[in-house]
Each structure stands twice: as C-alpha cells, then as structure tokens.
Amino acid sequence: MRTKIAGIGHYVPERVVKNSELTKYMDTTNEWIIERTGIEERRYAEKHKETPSSMGAKAARIAIERAGIQKEDVDFIIFATLSPDYYFPGCGVLMQRELGITNKEAGALDIRNQCSGFVYGLSIADQFIKTGMYKNILLVGAEMHSMGLDFSDEGRGVTVIFGDGAGAVVLQPTEKEGQGILTTCLHADGTHAEELAMINPGSHGGFHLGTEKYGYPDPSVPGGVFVTQKMIDDNLLSPNMSGQLVFKTAIVKFPEVIKEALGNCGLTTQDIDIFVPHQANLRISQFVQKLLRLPDEKVVNNIQKYGNTTAASIPIALSEAWEQGKVKEGDLVCLAAFGSGFTWGSALIKW
Ligand code: UT7
C-alpha cells in the first residue's frame, strides 16, 4: 500500500504587494529584488482578520472537496508553519475548529520545520497511511510572514523575500500499481540553527547565544525572561538570515537530496516529469534546474508572484501546477526543500 495525494488546494490573500510598495518603507529597489531573487510581488494577509490557521482552512476546504470526501472523514491533521497564530496551542487545533472537524476528535499535529515543513509533513503522513493507522490525512502548510517582518532598512535583506499564503493536500491509501509516494528523504543539521532564525521571543534566556546579542538578561524582570525591553529597543523581535550562507548551502543540498530520492527508486533525473522546488529564491531554483539538466517546462516557479511562503510554498506551487494541467496521472513529481534549521528533504510521487 502506498500514499496518494487525493486532493489539493491553495489560498493566497487578496492584497498584492509589489516591490515598488516596499521601496516606500525601506531602502530597496525593484531592480535589486528582481535581480537577486526573481520576486516581483507577494501577497499579504489582512491583518487582525486572517491568520495562518484561517488561510490554512481555506486551502483545506478546496483540497477536501477535490478529494471527494466530507470534512468529517478527515482522521488526522498535520499543520506546518513557522508563523503560528499562537505561541501555543498549535494551528492544527485552531484550523480543526474553524473547519468544524470535531465529530471524531481527529488528532492534530503541528510541525516546525520551516521551509521543509511540507516535505516533512508528507513523510509523516506517508508513514501513518502505510501502517494503516489513518485513511484521510489533511496536511497543510500556511504562513503569515507579513506580521513578523522588519520593515525598516535593517530588515530589507529578509523582508523583501517573504509572502503569505497556504496550501493543503488530502492524503489517502492507494493500491493502484505504481501510484503514490515512492520515497521521502529527510535531513537536518543544527550547526547553523541561528543563521536563519527568529530567536525572540523564546525560552533560551541567552543560553548558547550570548546574552547581549539577543537582548538578555533583563535584571528588572523577576523569574524567567521572555520578552525584554532591550529586545524591543534593539529590534531583536524579527527574523535574521545569513543570506549567502543559506544560498551556498541550499544549492548543494537541493541536488544532493533529489539524487538521494532518485537513487532510492532506481531512477534518474531524466525520469522526472515535473519538479516543484520550495520557492526560496528563483536563482536557487534555476541553479538546481541547470545542474539537473531539466527543461523549463518541467520546473514549477511561481516565486515571482508570491515570494517565499516557506511551508506553504510547495503546496501552493503544486496546486497551481495541477490546476494548470501540468501535473497529470502517471507523472513522476519531484519535490525538494531546504531552509531554516538547517532542515531539508525531498519526495518522489507517482501521480
Ligand atoms: O527558504 C530559505 C530561505 N532563504 C533563502 O533561500 C535565502 C537565500 N539567500 C538569498 O536568497 C540571497 O542571499 C539574498 C537574496 C537574501 C541576498 O542576496 P545576496 O546577493 O546574497 O546579497 P547580500 O546579502 O550579499 O547583500 C549584497 C548587498 C549588501 O550591500 P553592500 O554590503 O554590498 O553594500 C546588502 O546590504 O545588497 C544589500 N541589500 C539590499 N539592497 C537593496 C540587502 N538587501 C537589500 C535589499 N535592497 N532588499
């Protein structure tokens, strides 16, 4: 028995934010952003109205309908995000409530694997389905980056890249010969954990990190310190990224983990019908495409319209490609992601 994607859907917020709008807030240019990242515009959710779980629910409703099931049939939820509605509980239960999937108290699991969250989620779902534990797993990747970005000049290296959105799939068992997830490969290396991260607020207390650099300690607060005035004053409550380190590592790990997946199945890059990379940076995807010698028509890129939506990027890109008729029955679909952690992974799916 294998696991198939029975239904797929995505949701992106209405508000389009072009590069020219960002130039009003920070010292950047349309030309710089396009040249370095390929991004022309991204979407921002409606603040104080939309959240990752509400966007996830919108994508999930489409995936559920396309899978031809009722919401009550969902027996497990996996939610991947790095920008959750709450510090806790996770978005899985919030989306479950929003969807009204309360009939059989289906389990809900949140995973925090950033850019590779969807690939990790797919692998987790695959194991549950193959063991026969669940029959309809709802896997969602959703992000609301716009809420946590730094719109000052200091944040420009990170802020211009990210956008909001959600993608969802329904996973089911299949016994059809050759169909389904053929393999998933998951990897991590925490050596550079802080090089692409949002450190605060957190429970680290400066431990490991150097107290001053991350705004600790604040002697005026008794007990544990979660958010300090220094963090606010020193602008330490937004993500940071060593862009070049991430770029250089990504272009090594992407091809490596794709070749690992192909090797597991006795396949080669020529067998790939459609490649859906995590939409990190158009230059990264183009580099990997060239290395794998894949023609343009086999590679899905939509970062130009949505920016980097982290855990949502692969399901949004896959859903769009499917809607455009680019993913057909019998196609070998290759997914791959790399990001914060560092964590990375790949999946091969016979559609
Ligand atoms: O999903 C995984 C998440 N992240 C990634 O995949 C990111 C991977 N890395 C990248 O995509 C690239 O490293 C970036 C697009 C983030 C940056 O491009 P880069 O070519 O590596 O630029 P850089 O960081 O080396 O900066 C070059 C210059 C610097 O100025 P100086 O020091 O040369 O004067 C930056 O201050 O560009 C400046 N810069 C900007 N200029 C205009 C940085 N951000 C901006 C900006 N607009 N938004």
Q: Give the pLDDT band of residue 210 (cuts 50, 70, 90).
A: low
232 is a domain residue: no
What's the chain's average pLDDT? Answer: 94
Residues 136-169: tens digit of each pLDDT = 999 999 999 999 999 999 999 999 999 999 999 9
Residues 245 and 139 in one domain: no
Residues 158 and 258 in one domain: no
Pocket test residue of 247, 248, 306, 338 for ligand 1, highest count of atoms within 8 A of CB? 247
The CB of 308 under 6 Å from ligand 1? The reply is yes
Residues 340 and 325 in one domain: yes
Decide: 115 and 143 in contact? Cβ < 8 Å: no
Q: Which atom of ligand 1 is nearest to the CA of 157?
A: 44
Residues 7 and 139 in one domain: yes
For residue 298, what is the domain's CATH number?
Answer: 3.40.47.10
The CB of 36 under 6 Å from ligand 1? The reply is yes
pLDDT at position 169: 98
Q: Give the pLDDT band of residue 225 (cuts 50, 70, 90).
A: low
Print the domain residue range for 158.
2-174
Task: Find, among 342, 129, 139, 152, the residue nearest to 236 by Cα.
Answer: 152
Which of 209 and 141 is assigned the larger pLDDT?
Answer: 141
Residues 136 and 256 in one domain: no
Rounded CA separation 255/161 (Å): 22
Residues 168 and 264 in one domain: no
**Once rounded to an integer, what is the mean pLDDT over residues 58-79?**
97
Residues 6+ apart with CB under 8 A from 225: 205, 216, 217, 218
Residues 117-132: tens digit of each pLDDT = 999 999 999 999 999 9
Residues 4-41: tens digit of each pLDDT = 999 999 999 999 999 999 999 999 999 999 999 999 99
76 is a domain residue: yes
Residues 38 and 83 in one domain: yes
Q: Output DSSP code: residue 308.
A: B
pLDDT at position 203: 80
pLDDT at position 345: 98
- Atom 24 of ligand 1, nearest CA residue: 243
The CB of 93 under 6 Å from ligand 1? The reply is no
Rounded CA separation 74/287 (Å): 39
Give me the number of domains the chain comprises. 2
- Coil, helix or strand for 66? helix
- Atom 27 of ligand 1, nearest CA residue: 157
Judge whether residue 134 has pLDDT over 80: yes
pLDDT at position 75: 94
Tell me the pTM: 0.95
Rounded CA separation 173/180 (Å): 8
Residues 145 and 263 in one domain: no
Residues 187 and 161 in one domain: no
Residues 189 and 151 in one domain: no
Decide: 335 and 321 in contact? Cβ < 8 Å: no
Residues 30 and 163 in one domain: yes
In angstroms, what is the span from residue 347 Cα to ligand 1's centroid? 29
| Angle at the Cα of 64 from the Cα atoms of 60 and 66, rounded to 5 degrees | 115
State the pairing for strand pair 137-143/196-197: unpaired
Residue at a domain's end among 174, 205, 223: 174
Task: Find, among 292, 248, 250, the residue nearest to 270 by Cα.
Answer: 292
Q: At 45, list the tokens.
A: 């959710």
Give Cα separations from 167 to 39, 80, 125, 127, 312 (angstroms).
Answer: 19, 10, 15, 21, 5
The CB of 28 under 6 Å from ligand 1? The reply is yes
Residues 119 and 189 in one domain: no
pLDDT at position 6: 98
Q: At 226, list the tokens.
A: 């979660």
Residues 231-289: tens digit of each pLDDT = 888 888 999 999 999 999 999 999 999 999 999 999 999 999 999 999 999 999 999 99
